[in-house]
Structure 1
Amino acid sequence: MNPLFPMQRDQRWLIGVRQVLLHMCITVLAIAIAFSLPAAAQYILYEWWPRVAHDANLLIATEVGLAAALVLLFNISHLAWQDRQKVRAADLAALAYARQQNNWLARWRERRLVKRLPAARDAFIFTLTGFDTFADETSLLRDPLKTAYEIRVMLLNPYARSAEARVNSLPQEITLHSFSREVRASIDYLASLRTMGKKVTLKFYDQQPFWKVVVLGDHVWVQYCHSGFEVKHEPEYVFALNRDHPRRGFFVPFYMYVLEQWGDPRHPEYDFDTGELVCRDRLGKEVKRVGFGAGDGRESPVLLTPQTA
């Protein structure tokens, strides 16, 4: 069983049946080839080769065909060796999936990947607006979040200077108003999850983002936030926790990156009941509350330190 894809019992049963059928087909094919070898050798030695010996054109055609077959065989062997090296590298990095384009085929493959995964108890999302990640009805993680119990989300504060700089680097059809509207849609969707009994925590950060990271169970989705380009059009990589060798792969580094961002006291927590941002010190003690977007939020973030008596 692939440690990158922990499967449920019914999935293991189907894969076991498929492996048995595959082994049966290979065995039947090997037996058929073994029984056909004597007849093939007899045909080549006693019927085909005498014709070739007396026909120059047939000899040339046979030589060309044999040379083409050998070239094809060597090329296939070379490609197989290269693919084997790539598979080893991907396995060492714990790369479970990667896509470059955001077309319907890539989305279909990614949805198949999500369906193969067992239901995750926890979800960790570090993104910009969250709209394309879970708020949009066609987003990939909208349904998996409904089965998760604890959901922690970090979004870019739409009232921060970094959000304005980010929007200014994007195409003209993307405005600060549309950016804020997407953030509001994400907040509303998270609020609806709270009404379903989910434990939802939302924080906002003010720095320019480098990564979009989504942790769902033992898998992490990663995209780099290039300046001037929408994240949804960037290549996406999915890394999985290697249960047999946890130190291998990029799951743990990206997971630790998200944990560090989450534990940073500069990032205020959103209060769904009051619509305020709750600022805390490094000990987790509440320091102050500010309205979401109060003062237009253009001031730089301030490090919060424990207040002394």
Structure 2
Amino acid sequence: MKSLLAKEVLKRIALGLLALVGGWVWAVLLRVFDEASTGVPFFERLKQIFIAIRKDPLDFSLQLLFDYPGQTFLSVLLIGGYLVLFAVIWRTRRTLRVAQIERTLAVRAGIGGWWPNAKPGDDGSAPWADLCAEIARPENRTLLVLGANGIDTFGRPGAPLHDVLQAFRGTVRVILAHPDSEQTKGRAAAVGVKAVEYKRAITTSVALLRDLRRQHHAVDGRFYDGQPNWKMIITSRTAWIQYYAPGQHVDGSPVWRFDGNDDGSGLYYLFAAEFERIWRRCEEHEMF
């Protein structure tokens, strides 16, 4: 912060010095083309001015100010104004260039949105209604969910995806933490929840998925043994991503939305591929 402040101060000093130098040069030009000296040959005038500057630069500069006070002051103001304008234009150009680079990177990465948390009802939180609309979109036939216990995502009535999941007629694949693993108990302790309650939350979410299977929904599920890392909700064209930070419920973590793009280079495809990798790795822990 101090270095940035020092740079700004140096810029202001440099602009001021340039304005003074510009005003001095302007006054010298006025002296060169002074009508009172028109009888003296041009090169002779230049020679006289050069000698005067070399003899006593300060006295010469003060004499210029006395001879042309208004013009010198006005030239300093004008040149200073132009220098400030140039600096503003240069900075704006640089800012626009940086903004263009950032926009290009965001488009290339497929960043479609960012929110500070996923707490329903909080100002500025992730728009669950938009995600539900994306899942329910007629063209969307895929829903992939990677989570911890699923209870606050879809497992209980009132959870953001509870209703849309039951109405969804596409393929659903869900990966949750294994209810009996030591890592799951560790996660429960980390967020201040009793292990038995955390396990009950998982079994409640699984019961909902099992009930959907009985209703002939295309639902499949698996468990993983490790600690929760990523929370993913992926459709055919968007991925909603969060990270399970230690000691914090995931709804307090920032939410990133990545959208698929035409060339397949965005992060959406990387997270979709990561889901598939985790799915294959959990083959031995079928949910049903």
Unaligned runs of 5+ in 2: 1-76
The 2-side partners of 1:132 and 1:83 are apart by: 37
Matches within 5 A, 1:112-261: 112=130, 114-115=132-133, 118-119=137-138, 120-145=140-165, 146-170=167-191, 172=192, 174-242=193-261, 244-246=262-264, 248-261=265-278
Q: Answer yes or no: is the 8 Å Cα contact 2:117–2:251 preserved in 1.
A: no
Q: What secondary structure, in the 3-state scheme, does the structure 2 residue paired with 1:269 have?
A: coil
Q: Answer yes or no: is the 8 Å Cα contact 2:206–2:287 preserved in 1.
A: no
The 1-side partners of 2:229 and 2:182 are apart by: 16
1:57-103 alpha-carbon deviations (Å, 9 max, x no partner): xxx9xxxxx99999998877665544333221111111111112345
Matches within 5 A, 1:21-100: 80-100=96-116
Q: Answer yes or no: is the 8 Å Cα contact 1:133–1:140 preserved in 2.
A: yes
RMSD: 3.3
Query: Displacement, 1:129?
Result: 0.4
4+ runs deviating over 4 angstroms: 66-81
Q: Give the letter aligned to residue 248 of structure 2.
A: F
Instruction: Determine which structure has more spread, i.e. the larger CA radius of gyration.
Output: 2
1:199-228 alpha-carbon deviations (Å, 9 max, x no partner): 111211111122112212211111122222
Query: Displacement, 1:184?
Result: 2.1
Q: What secondary structure, in the 3-state scheme, does the structure 2 residue paired with 1:187 have?
A: helix
Change (3 A) 1:78 1:136: farther
Q: Give the letter aligned to residue 141 of structure 2.
A: R
Change (3 A) 1:67 1:100: farther
Change (3 A) 1:143 1:74: farther
The 2-side partners of 1:161 and 1:265 are apart by: 16
When normalised by structure 1's length, the TM-score is 0.58
Q: Answer yes or no: is the 8 Å Cα contact 1:205–1:266 preserved in 2.
A: no
Q: Answer yes or no: is the 8 Å Cα contact 1:223–1:237 preserved in 2.
A: yes
Equivalent residue number for residue 264 of structure 1: 281
Q: What secondary structure, in the 3-state scheme, does the structure 1 residue paired with 2:206 have?
A: helix
Q: Give the letter aligned to residue 279 of structure 2.
A: W
Q: What secondary structure, in the 3-state scheme, does the structure 1 residue paired with 2:174 have?
A: strand
Q: What secondary structure, in the 3-state scheme, does the structure 2 residue paired with 1:159 have?
A: coil
Q: Give the letter aligned to residue 164 of structure 1.
A: K
Identity of aligned residues (%): 21
Unaligned runs of 5+ in 1: 1-59, 61-65, 272-309
When normalised by structure 2's length, the TM-score is 0.61
Q: Give the letter aligned to residue 83 of structure 1.
A: A
The 2-side partners of 1:112 and 1:214 are apart by: 13
Q: Answer yes or no: is the 8 Å Cα contact 1:122–1:216 preserved in 2.
A: yes
The 2-side partners of 1:68 and 1:138 are apart by: 58
What number of residue pairs does the alignment pair up?
Answer: 212
Q: What secondary structure, in the 3-state scheme, does the structure 2 residue paired with 1:85 have?
A: helix
Higher helix share: 2
Q: Answer yes or no: is the 8 Å Cα contact 1:167–1:179 preserved in 2.
A: yes
The 2-side partners of 1:235 and 1:216 are apart by: 19
